[in-house]
Structure 1
Amino acid sequence: MNTTPEHDERIAKMTFASVYPHYVTKIEKKGRTKEELHQVIEWLTGYDEAMLQKLIEKKVTFEQFFQNASLHNNAHLITGVICGYRVEEITNPLTQQVRYLDKLVDELAKGRKMEKILRTS
């Protein structure tokens, strides 16, 4: 599924710090913890809690956020629809990575088991 260049640009320039509080609110409203959120983010990106805090303070864009991330080898196993897009069909790599993160946060909020979210057997 193709996104528009404008859509991809908007996502690239959005700061992680502006979206992070929405992730926290979403998962806490559903009874999940910030620690679980950080575990999911670390699984996908390799960023531990201290690094995550630095990136939030620096107000890095999603482009910068994913530029230095070590994407998990099983990230390609993240599939499904998020924000109207089927993540496995998104052609722009950065937009796909941001949607991977959105999908994981969504699964966490929906109460999915951590083993399933982290794509472990």
Structure 2
Amino acid sequence: MKTTPEHDERIAKMTFASVYPHYITKVVSKGRTKEELHQVIEWLTNFDDKKLQELIEEKVTFETFFKKAKLNPNAHLITGVICGYRIEEIENPLTKQVRYLDKLVDELAKGRKMEKIIRIA
């Protein structure tokens, strides 16, 4: 399934700070912790808690968020469907990276074991 340029642009301009509380709510309501959420975000982006807080306070867009990230070399192992899109078929690199994050949050909320989520090759 192809994303549209409008869809990709909307994702790029969305702020991480606007979505982050939803990530917390989702994982905590399913019995996981904020610390576990931060662990998967750090695995994907290499942002520690301090850097993550700075980015939230700066209200960076997803475009800036992922430009500053050092994406995990195993991120390509994140596959499957999220929000109606098959991740491996998404052509726009930024949209794919945002969906990687969405997929990790989803797996955490569904109770998947941490070692499976962070895809230790």
TM-score range normalised by the length of the shorter chain: over 0.9
Q: Percent identity?
A: 80
Which aligned runs of 4 or more in structure 1 are off by greater than 6 angstroms? none
Superposed counterparts of 1:16-95, under 5 Å: 16-95=16-95
Q: State the partner residue of 1:9.
A: 9
Displacement of 1:84: 0.1
**Within 2, Cα distance between the matches of 1:73 and 1:58?**
26
Gaps of at least 5 residues in structure 1 are none
Question: CA-to-partner distance for each residue in 1:51-84, whole Å, 9 max, x for gaps?
Answer: 0000000000000000010000000000000000
TM-score normalised per structure 2: 0.99
Displacement of 1:120: 1.3
**Within 2, Cα distance between the matches of 1:87 and 1:104?**
12
Q: State the partner residue of 2:113.
A: 113
